[in-house]
A and B are shown apart, each in its own frame.
Chain A
């Protein structure tokens, strides 16, 4: 399963440091990883232990052979309860596939967002200070102002009410 490989190849340190996740998410991720590591360790530990019982040894040591026979019988009859893990595995796999798809979608979304942010950043960096704005640029940014001025001039209104009070003028009269 390719997605599984992709998911397995997750570089956790990079996730912790570079994605800027919240503290809770990082903690949850770390806990999950620890649990997984513990389970793996315990599994290997138990797998290395022997699973057979040396009955001949008990037979030679113990005097009560009947007990040993009974034990052998019980042991032979014992069958480990088999759990049907296939269903669970299947559920996990579908969940995993879904998660991978979701993750891919999220990365795409984040990529788009990043591009947007970069454009905004470039805009901000290229922007000149407020004092350097020209009337033409403001007019280009807000064509409605130009329209308003055109209407004013058509009607012969050349002054803006309140302008003189605010900025004064240079006329001596």
Chain B
């Protein structure tokens, strides 16, 4: 398979990149946590732009 007329070379990708991929996964989960916390925080929970407003309102009623 060629790309823009350039031939493909057998460069290893997964082997040298695995630490970065692992780190990326961890970062992903951490950021997901941070987003969750931010969304539910005082400052943004009542924000009209918050796409999760309905969900949060439902949960807080319980």
Contacts and interface: CB of A to CB of B under 8 A. Distances in A.
Direct contact between A and B in the complex (CB less than 8 angstroms)?
yes
Chain B residues touching A, majority SS? loop
Nearest to A139: B7
Question: Which bucket holds chain A's interface residue count?
Answer: under 10
A153 interface: yes
A153 B9 CA distance: 8
Contacts, number: 11
Interface residues of B, number: 5
Nearest to B6: A136
A156 B9 contact: no
Contacts of B11: 153-154
B10 A156 contact: no
A158 to B, nearest CB: 9
A113 interface: no
A69 interface: no
9 contacts: A149-B9, A150-B9, A150-B10, A153-B9, A153-B10, A154-B11, A154-B12, A156-B12, A156-B16
